[in-house]
Amino acid sequence: MAQGGTIIISPRGAALVRAGHLWVYRSELRKVEAEGGSVVRVRDERGRFIGRALYSDRSEIALRLLTMRDEEIDRAWWQKRLRAAIGRRAGLERACDAFRLVYSEGDLLPSLIVDRYRDLLVMQTLAQGTERLKSLFVELLVEELAPRVIIERNDVRVRELEGLDQRAGVLYGEAMDSIEILQHGVRFRILPLSGQKTGAFLDQRENHLAARRYAHGRALDCFTFNGAFALHMAPACASVLGLDISEEAIEAARANAELNGLRNVEFRVANVFDALREFESQGERFDTIVLDPPAFAKNRASVPAAMRGYKEINLRALKLLNVGGVLITCTCSHHMTEHLFLEIIADAAADARRRVQIIEKRTQSSDHPVLVGVPETLYLKCLILRVIE
């Protein structure tokens, strides 16, 4: 475990840390005496202790704060932090056997993600510091949870910003091609080594249940991926149609529908933007529509284009809904704030000439906790709306 080294940061950087943020950008560094990937002491320009942090010599996020105490960051320290994160999920397994065990900054374990799929764990080490400690994390997770398998899904672009390669593979145990999970009574088969994310979109888990509460009549699930919203809504609806541009995703969704014995669900390969326009031209109507697109705004520069995309699909969906119909609309773009998202919905409703109520404002599932002071930990926004006129 690489220890040692000191980094001096600017007054602005120190103020941000003291206000609760865990990141210090490279532009705020004043003096560096440390090796990339090491745990360093951080001080301000007056020599006052700020905290201990993981240091990256490549990323613009140069420091990821671990603690504001001057304490040894050793095996016992990491074990305590992991145990605390795991303990905060106690009881979730009664309703589902797949959820996030460690949510990086949200759990004060910056750049480390661990997801549980029954007795399989999926880990991501997204910065130089956590990558260097990967074998330690495997060792601790085996001790704490005795999993059958631990795999890494480090095939994500953000690692390139750290000078790290992309990779996916088994770290402990033997490879599993697929695994079946249970989410609130709905069965899914996932591919942990090749599916999107770490195998499933666990951050929408609680929103799937919310959608089931309000869903009724004829439903449309756009950007369905593996069919999670569609399959959760099916018992409450007369019929559900799921759309996704990916043939692989649609095949998986159909297999999941079969796994659950559902006969009122249909899945089609389609471009959602085109399909919504076609439904409108054909005079089609729905009682429930879900919009769960991929992140349109990957960075701040892409926000204007993303706004146009979000408005387009929400405008089309509102036109397709019957009076009394429900729209569950989501954005997983961090840069798309709730305020901005609400403005887009208001513009779309005005252009569609519909009166719309907000029934619920929701965010990511509770196993993806938002850390106060670190706005980047809040990325998923989910609005449940009702058309009343």
> Which residues are designated catalytic?
332
Task: Give burial (CB, 10 Å; 0-12/13-18/19+) of 246.
Answer: middle
Task: Give the number of other CB atoms < 10 A from CB of residue 238.
Answer: 11
Residue 159: phi and psi, rounded to 5, are -65, -30
Q: Which residues pair with 96 in a beta bridge?
A: 183
Tell me how far apart the alpha carbons of residues 218 and 195 are, in angstroms, rounded to a whole number.
Answer: 29
Question: 91-109 b/e with 16+ CB inside 10 Å = b?
Answer: ebeeebbbbbbbbbbbbbb
Tell me how far apart the alpha carbons of residues 141 and 150 are, in angstroms, rounded to a whole number.
Answer: 9
Contact 309, 330 (CB under 8 A): no
Which of helix, strand or coil describes residue 104? helix
Mode of pairing for the β-strands spanning 98-103 and 49-55: unpaired
